[in-house]
Amino acid sequence: MSNRICEILGIDKPVIQGPMVWLTDARLAAAVSNAGGMGSLGPNAGQTVVTRDPEGTAENMRAEIRKVRELTDKPFSVNVLPTQGREDIYTPPMLKVIYEEKVPVVTFVGEPDAAMFAEFKEHGIKIVYRSLNPSPENAKAAEEAGADIIVATGFDEGGTLPGMVLGTFSIVPLIVDAVDHTPVMAAGGIADARAFDAALALGAEGVYCGTAFLMSEESRMADNVKQAVLAANARDLLLFRTIPAYYRSLPGRLANALVAMDQAGASNEELGRKMGGFANLRLGMLEGDMENGYVSVGNGISHIHEIKSCQAIVDDLTKHFSL
Ligand SMILES: Cc1cc2nc3c(=O)[nH]c(=O)nc-3n(C[C@H](O)[C@H](O)[C@H](O)COP(=O)(O)O)c2cc1C
């Protein structure tokens, strides 16, 4: 049995560690790549302080990319997330670094961009396309624009939730049926071999996981947060509206206040302001202040019972998979 994801990316096991802003770094990405999957760097990977300067942000990424290369000779990806609706000052310097450093794969989030995809192709870069709001239409458009792999993300995921409340079981076959020839990966709530097998049964050819790798030995998420996630299950997670649509978090003073505001009818904009963007994600998840920050994880936490190495996580996810 041949697997197209492995062939396209040049990896052994069809598992991608999705980018997760501050919580990703060279150590995590390289550990997943060395385990036979593919690791990714998200915005501010490896950093602890905010850089507002777009050039400085891109140079920080260059340094992190070089660290990945010290730790692995396997493929890895860098996240490209063009800003929607306002001038995009961060993407041009980031692309320059991606091209100069010969990054092999981009994990692209946003609306399909045929011109940018063509540029990636010219540089020999593979494109993993993931929409925040997956639909048959944007999957088809991504395929036409030249995406190599399309990720279908369900509402079970951690991080920025889709506006359309469709679970992973609903969205994956919808996207698989919508595309013509492009392999699809499933994302959202996938943390064990049962979910990996189910994703393949739904027509996906691999899995794209965030939360499972946050709970690895190599992840830089704060230890007290890892312990709190181990003790929790999906039913403990709070869900609230925000910008652009929804988020979920473990309980804490900020998360509880957001739920109360939501129930009291606050607007998504008011909720977004209170939530405080990625600064409060960093506070909650990297610094471990679960009262004043928030802790965004996916529904797969119910099936995570220990902190393991990335190698053990990839091996466990794929234990019934053979090429
Ligand atoms: C804390 C957190 C931060 C995230 N940040 C990003 C990001 O910076 N860029 C991105 O494309 N996706 C981001 N995601 C989404 C992940 O890449 C991945 O699609 C998602 O975690 C999959 O769902 P799972 O957590 O249930 O496995 C984030 C997810 C989490 C949990």
CATH of the domain at 174: 3.20.20.70
Q: Is the pLDDT at 33 greater than 80, yes or no?
A: yes
Average of pLDDT values for 160-171?
97
Shared domain for 256 and 130, answered yes or no, is no
Cβ-contact 125, 146 below 8 angstroms? no
How close is the Cα of 190 to the center of ligand 1, in Å?
12
Average of pLDDT values for 272-290?
97
Cβ-contact 172, 186 below 8 angstroms? yes
Shared domain for 290 and 309, answered yes or no, is no
How close is the Cα of 153 to the center of ligand 1, in Å?
10
How close is the Cα of 232 to the center of ligand 1, in Å?
19
pLDDT at 87: 87
**Domains in the chain: how many in total?**
2
Shared domain for 281 and 311, answered yes or no, is no
Residue 296 backbone dihedrals phi, psi, to 5 degrees: -95, 115
The first and second tokens of residue 82, run together, are 């063009």
Site of tokens 């939501």: 262
Average of pLDDT values for 139-161?
98
What's the CA gap between 168 and 119, in Å, rounded? 31
Average of pLDDT values for 194-215?
98
Shared domain for 25 and 131, answered yes or no, is yes
Q: Is residue 8 part of a domain?
A: yes
Q: Is residue 322 part of a domain?
A: no
Residue nearest to atom 29 of ligand 1 (CA): 159
Q: Does the C-beta of 300 come closer than 6 Å to ligand 1? A: yes
Whether the full predicted model's pTM is greater than 0.95, yes or no, is yes
Q: Which atom of ligand 1 is nearest to the CA of 296?
A: 1
Residue nearest to atom 17 of ligand 1 (CA): 18
Site of tokens 């940018």: 116
Counting DSSP H helices and E strands in the chain, the numbers are: 14, 10
Pairing mode, strands 15-17 and 76-80? unpaired
Condensed to tens digits (0 to 9), the pLDDT of residues 285-310 reads 999 999 999 999 999 999 999 999 99
Q: Which range of residues forms the domain containing residue 121?
A: 4-220+304-317
Q: Does the C-beta of 192 come closer than 6 Å to ligand 1? A: no
Shared domain for 77 and 118, answered yes or no, is yes
Q: Does the C-beta of 210 come closer than 6 Å to ligand 1? A: yes
What's the CA gap between 11 and 3, in Å, rounded? 10
Residue type, 83: T
Q: Does the C-beta of 284 come closer than 6 Å to ligand 1? A: no
How close is the Cα of 270 to the center of ligand 1, in Å?
23
The first and second tokens of residue 53, run together, are 């300067």
